[in-house]
Amino acid sequence: MQRAIASFSQDELGDWVAHLVCGHRQHVRHKPPFWSRPWVLTPEGRAEKVGLPLDCVLCDRFEMPASFAAYKRTAEFDETTIPAGLLRDHTTKAGVWAVIHVLAGRLRYVVEPPLQRDEILEPGRNGIVVAEVPHRIEPLGPVRFFVEFHRAVT
């Protein structure tokens, strides 16, 4: 899916890396004739690209950004205490991912476009919530679960 560029940094070899709003990083090398991105070599060129999208395959794969860590979690819910907002399509904030942990029973987890997934969560099978992607859950009988939120470690 498409993710906007938030900023740039250089790796240990001096190659440029784009930091995307989802938390993922992607090399944007200028190595002709393989990759031609002369704009990446100047501050002005990079500044013009901030806010423009790159295709993020790590988001497509539901891969939590490597530098992320849990910072808070919800209370434990069951089929009678699930907040109504979780049953309708909703999203996390920019740069916030989550993990749905099922302690007992089963939850249906539906992810809407631009990603798409419809799966059953149960103990040992967590749901990964990709930042800003609409999703909802639905209890399949008695269930106990909580949601853990992750963001970049600063």
Question: Which chain residues interact with Zn ion by CB under 5 A?
Answer: 3, 22, 24, 56, 58-59
Shortest distance, CB of residue 14 to Zn ion, whole angstroms? 24
**Closest to Zn ion by CB, 17 or 140:** 17
CB nearer Zn ion, residue 5 or residue 22: 22
Q: Which is nearer to Zn ion, 24 or 101 (CB)?
A: 24
Cβ closest to Zn ion, residue 54 vs residue 82 = 54
What minimum distance in Å lies between the beta carbon of 104 and Zn ion? Answer: 32
Which amino acid type is present at position 124?
G
Q: What is the 3-state secondary structure (H, E, C) of the chain?
A: CEEEEEEEEECCCCCEEEEECCCCEEECCCECCCECCHHHHCHHHHHHHCCCEEECHHHHCCCCCCCEEEEEECCCEECCCCCHHHHCCECCCCCCEEEEEEEEEEEEEEECCCCCEEEEEECCECEEECCCCCEEEEEEEEEEEEEEEEEECC
Tell me the closest approach of the beta carbon of residue 85 to Zn ion, in angstroms.
24
The CB-of-60 to Zn ion minimum distance in angstroms stands at 8
